Amino acid sequence: MAYLVWVEGEVDVAGMIESYLADGNQKTPDRHDLSLTGVCLGWRRTAPLLEALARSRSAASR
């Protein structure tokens, strides 16, 4: 899971999320919506995480 750390106006990335169109990955390039590399979150699972990060950033800046 990814999270951001805000310290006195600076943002440090403390993690990473791999995201693509569909969940998972594939060994052969049969589908255009699946990653060929690492296992990724699909967009339906990524969008709520991005929204949560935006909300937490908004709350931290108050």
pLDDT digits (tens, 9 = 90+) for 3-28: 556 566 666 666 778 899 999 999 99
Report H helices in the chain: 43-60
29 neighbors 51 (Cβ within 8 angstroms): no
Q: What is the mean pLDDT of residues 28-42?
A: 92
Tell me the average pLDDT of the chain: 81
User: According to the model, what pLDDT value does residue 15 have?
Assistant: 72
20 neighbors 34 (Cβ within 8 angstroms): yes
Tokens of 60: 């931290």
Q: What is the mean pLDDT of residues 16-41?
A: 91
Length of the chain measured in residues? 62
User: According to the model, what pLDDT value does residue 55 have?
Assistant: 87
User: According to the model, what pLDDT value does residue 14 have?
Assistant: 66
